[in-house]
Copies of this chain bind each other. A is one copy, B any other.
């Protein structure tokens, strides 16, 4: 049974469609990397450590919009799997500098390939001309809305 549901006001509710688009994109990405045993939170963490070697957990948390305590189990897992190394800073012994191991770098390359695939799938929804503009709007929303 396929019932037509009137969205009514929701037809134009940006927040509602933002959520559905995000969920769809998320689900598609999960399916894409389904063969690789890694979660999306792990993915972002791995990519950002690769891009910012020596970054600490608090800074990393701010970048992905999560509390530092939320990152602890993710990092525990990545370290245990030999993908990330925690090195205590000599200048400030409270901090750990995070870096990718060789294996972590290899995993990052593999995941980056999946991510590129995923971007291609998104490109089927947004013309190349519009994509940059689209992402710019998303960034503006993320930056401005909280105030």
Listed in ascending order, the chain A residues whose CB lies under 8 Å from chain B are 1, 3, 5-10, 12-29, 44, 47-48, 50-52, 55, 59-60, 62-63, 65, 112, 115, 118-119, 121-122, 124-126, 130-131, 133-135, 137-146
Contacts and interface: CB of A to CB of B under 8 A. Distances in A.
Given A21-B139, A140-B126, A9 B47 contact: yes
Given A6-B52, A10-B48, A22-B22, 16 more contacts: A5-B52, A7-B51, A8-B47, A8-B51, A9-B47, A13-B115, A14-B122, A16-B44, A18-B18, A18-B21, A18-B22, A18-B138, A24-B141, A122-B145, A125-B145, A130-B137
Q: How many copies does the complex hold?
A: 2
